[in-house]
Amino acid sequence: MNNIFQPDEHNLERAALTIKSGGLVAMPTETVYGLGANVYIAAAVAKIFEVKQRPFFDPLISHIAETDFLKTYAQTDERVMALAKQFWPGPLTMILKRTDNNAAIDLACSGLPNIAVRMPSHPVALELIKKSGVPIVAPSANKFKSVSPTTAQHVFDSLGNKVDMILDGGACTVGVESTIIDVTGKNIIILRAGGTAKEDLEKFLNEKVLLSDGSPDKPSAPGQLLKHYAPNHPLRINAATRQPGEFFIGFGKIADCDLNLSPTGDLREAAANLFAFLRQADAVPGYTGLAMSPIPENGLGLAINDRIRRASYKA
């Protein structure tokens, strides 16, 4: 028996009760599946770190369904509200100054003075947050450092029955995690490239958005380790062709590949396929490694390249 549930009215009520009473619910979002808990219950937040085997210094994103909720724990200004209006619900996370210091939120934020917030656009996530009546903190619903889950089955394969319920909202349409921007300073800095393109942020703000390079004045998200999103096989990126023994994941007009992220060269389609293809390729027997075509460094390509660079990192 697995714990995957269809998100009908009855199961959504049950999931909301689970969140309210301190349990863990894996929920679909448009980016990846999240492992959700009540932001106000410290034991529930702690359970997330335990189930994911994630270090406590790596803070969690809190998910809201109404912009009004921001006021209860974060400092906002005109720019933040304009960004929220334009990009929420959607794959954008904002790092804001936090105004609530209760123990559970402290744990969720790893003691940092800032809180990461986003409003997901998946209807099941929005419904669950509304029915629960509290923000839901949720990291990606996979074991720390491994490939992120884009289907309910991926969550089950990674976390099994350690989660009280897994709500099945189908395959994630964006497929890479949200773009994280730090909006606490004068310049906006992207801490993690993701489902909202840098170009779209710049066009809306009419200013240059900086990309974090990990230097002290341009901090990066604490959880973005060099090795992350890793499949079990070694991954070789920027590969023009396959080498003997490799499973080859192509992009664009590549004839000789085993899977193609997007035959037409569409970066959105490629992002949506990325994690599922890495899992799929990993599971095919008889290969000694994975290889992947070069991905252009624009639009969602920024996020894809970030993920595959980490996935291919050799310690």
Q: In the complex, which residues of this chain contact ligand TXA (CB under 6 A)?
A: 29, 31-32, 34, 58-61, 91, 93, 95, 109, 112, 114-116, 120, 138-140, 177-178, 180, 191-192, 221-224
Q: Report the nearest approach of Mg ion to the CB of residue 227 (Å).
A: 13
Q: Of 140 and 273, which CB lies nearer to Mg ion in the complex structure?
A: 140
Q: Of 106 and 258, which CB lies nearer to ligand TXA in the complex structure?
A: 106
Q: Of 59 and 301, which CB lies nearer to ligand TXA in the complex structure?
A: 59
d(C-alpha 261, C-alpha 251), whole Å? 5
Q: Does 140 bind Mg ion (CB under 5 A)?
A: yes
Q: What is the amino acid identity at position 123?
A: P
Dihedral pair phi/psi, residue 180, rounded to 5°? -105, 125
**With CB cut-offs between 5 and 8 Å by kind, which of Mg ion, ligand TXA, none does residue 129 bind?**
none
If DSSP codes are grouped into helix, strand and coil, which group holds residue 274?
helix
DSSP letter for each residue of 102-154: -HHHHHHTTT-SEEEEE----HHHHHHHHHHTS-EE--BSS-TTBPPP-SHHH
Q: Of 61 and 257, which CB lies nearer to ligand TXA in the complex structure?
A: 61
Select from 267, 271, 275, 270 the least CA-distant residue to 299: 267
Select from 138, 165, 167, 169 the least CA-distant residue to 18: 165
Judged by CB under 5 A, the stretch of 91-99, 137-145, 285-293, 301-309 that binds Mg ion is 137-145
Judged by CB under 5 A, the stretch of 107-115, 138-146, 273-281, 299-307 that binds Mg ion is 138-146
> For residue 261, what are the contacts with CB-CB under 8 A and spacing of at least 6?
249, 250, 251, 269, 270, 273, 274, 277, 292, 293, 295
Q: Report the nearest approach of ligand TXA to the CB of residue 51 (Å).
A: 13
Q: Report the nearest approach of ligand TXA to the CB of residue 53 (Å).
A: 13
Q: Report the nearest approach of Mg ion to the CB of residue 116 (Å).
A: 12
Note whether 165 and 3 are within 8 A (CB).
yes
Q: Report the nearest approach of ligand TXA to the CB of residue 265 (Å).
A: 24
Q: Report the nearest approach of ligand TXA to the CB of residue 96 (Å).
A: 8
Dihedral pair phi/psi, residue 94, rounded to 5°? -110, 135
List residues near Mg ion by CB under 5 A.
140
